[in-house]
Amino acid sequence: MDIKTRDTSPSTKSDTSQLSYTNDYNTLPATGPTNHAHILHLPETNASSTQDDNPKLQDALVTTLFHVSPAILQSFMSPTTHTFKAIFGKKDIQLLIWRKGLEVFVGTYEHHTTLKAYRFERVAGFLIGYDGVWHLQVTAADAYCNAKWAEVWAGKFFDYGGVTQMVVEGEVGRMEKRAGELAGAIVRGRFWGLKCDVKVT
């Protein structure tokens, strides 16, 4: 996969919102279909954006990786990479981007050491088609999991109880709304500016 230097051509507006995309990465053109991933033009994506302005989750994900470095994004997208796992942040709310084969798991979480559990504020799972289409499979909120990465990947989440309850969506409209909320949180949180631990195999 080739990496292209930043394109100085104007960004292209997305069809569904006030957000716009760039041609900063060769294989993710701004004019690509809406169900593909795009690099967001960030000056127009700011903390004052509303929930209605949330980008697509795949756009927030690749934009985050690109702003860490184009080489990191290339590792994530490479068909020769079997497993890619990136954790942003060291405390408070962290971001996990994890790909195995064509499956992608993304979520914001807190590590509750006293409970020996991760609390995922928001979670989404994708399947990336060979044609570049990102298929949203499931979303959830307030999902707990034992602090074991194998259990996280296997989806062994549970409801811890208390004021908030775990919510799992399977209906397309609700999944897209939840994924948009996660995307907005990622972009507004500017996770690419945090310390990032990346493992690639």
Q: Give the pLDDT band of residue 46 (cuts 50, 70, 90).
A: low
Which contacts (CB < 8 Å, 24+ apart) does range 65-73 have?
Answer: 65/97, 65/192, 66/24, 66/25, 66/39, 67/42, 67/192, 68/192, 68/196, 68/198, 70/3, 70/24, 70/25, 71/3, 72/196, 72/198, 73/25
Q: Is the pTM of this model over 0.85?
A: yes
Residue 5, in any domain of the structure: no
How far is residue 68's CA from residue 189's CA, in Å, rounded to a whole number? 14
Q: Is 124 exposed, middle or buried (0-12, 13-18, 19+ CB in 10 A)?
A: buried
139 located within any domain: yes
Burial category of 180 from C-beta neighbours within 10 Å (exposed 0-12, middle 13-18, buried 19 and up): buried
For residue 185, being part of any structural domain is answered with: yes
3-class DSSP state of 68: helix
Domain assignment present for 155: yes
Domain assignment of residue 6, yes or no: no
**What is residue 179's predicted lDDT score, i.e. its pLDDT?**
97
The answer to whether residue 26 is domain-embedded is: yes
Total domains present in the chain: 1
Q: Which two tokens stand for residue 171?
A: 């209906």
The alpha-helical segments, DSSP class H, found in 33-165 are 57-68, 70-77, 149-154
pLDDT of residue 7: 43
Query: What's the mean per-residue pLDDT of the chain?
Result: 88
Q: Is 145 part of any domain?
A: yes
Residue 1, pLDDT above cutoff 90: no
Q: What are the CA-CA distances from residue 3 to residues 8, 23, 28, 148 (Å)?
A: 15, 11, 10, 35
DSSP-derived 3-state class of residue 81: coil
Q: How much is the pLDDT for 8?
A: 38
Read off the pLDDT of each residue in 56-84 and give the average, rounded to a whole number.
97
CB 20 within 8 A of CB 41: yes
- Residue 161 structural domain: 12-200
In a domain, 173, yes or no: yes
**pLDDT, tens digit, 9 for 90 and up, residues 168-191:** 998 999 999 999 999 999 999 999
